[in-house]
Amino acid sequence: MCVFCGSRPGRDAGYLELARTVGTLLGQRGIALVYGGGRVGLMGALADAALAANGRVIGVIPQMLVDREVGHGNLSELHVVRTMSERKELMGELSNSFLTLPGGTGTLDELFEAWTWTQLGLQSKPCGLLNFRGFYDPLLAFLDHSVEAGFLGAQNRASLCVDEDPARLIERLCVNSDTPDSSGAGGGHAA
């Protein structure tokens, strides 16, 4: 499962705890984590928790970020790419679904690109948005406004899985993905 999230920790300690919870859930369920390869912010907390739960963690990071010393050094796999675009493309290839946690513009860029790939029929991988403590309420209101204004189809809007509960959203994404074993048990496959 590809997880998009912030490279910063956020001001509320609950964001870090959320990232740790998601990492732990993925590791415990045998779902390989694909993420941006960073060791800082929510990304680092997510990866560390998945590793602590004996999970497989695959990072994808551009060389420019490795040069800034933000790459995680203890992952199961680390792919170093040239550009941010190559990063998103490889993360998509390595994953069967996408989960978005709180983050900034980079996180939104990743979510919208993956979700657009689905809308255009370039993939059929589910995209989920973890709306922790209403973090994404303004974005969801904008998406609803886009439907009302005629710029986003209601079917496309409905294709974004939104939930407040990490375990429930992970399960929904696994059930709707091409994962051979949607329970996530065993195998350590990418989901």
Q: The domain that contains 147 carries what CATH number? A: 3.40.50.450
Residue 62 dihedral angles phi and psi, to the nearest 5°: -70, 150
Residue 92 dihedral angles phi and psi, to the nearest 5°: -65, -40
d(CA 46, CA 116): 25
- On whether residue 13 sits in a domain, the answer given is yes
- On whether residue 180 sits in a domain, the answer given is no
CA distances from 110 to 17, 24, 57, 85, 155 (A): 22, 22, 18, 9, 21
Rounded to two decimals, what is the model's pTM?
0.90
- On whether residue 187 sits in a domain, the answer given is no
Looking at the 3D structure of the chain, how many domains does it have?
Answer: 1
Tell me the pLDDT band of 178, cut-offs 50, 70 and 90. Answer: low
Percent of the chain scoring above 90 in pLDDT:
85
pLDDT tens by residue, 87-136: 999 999 999 999 999 999 999 999 999 999 999 999 999 999 999 999 99
- On whether residue 45 sits in a domain, the answer given is yes
Domain that holds residue 41: 2-175
Tell me the pLDDT band of 184, cut-offs 50, 70 and 90. Answer: very low
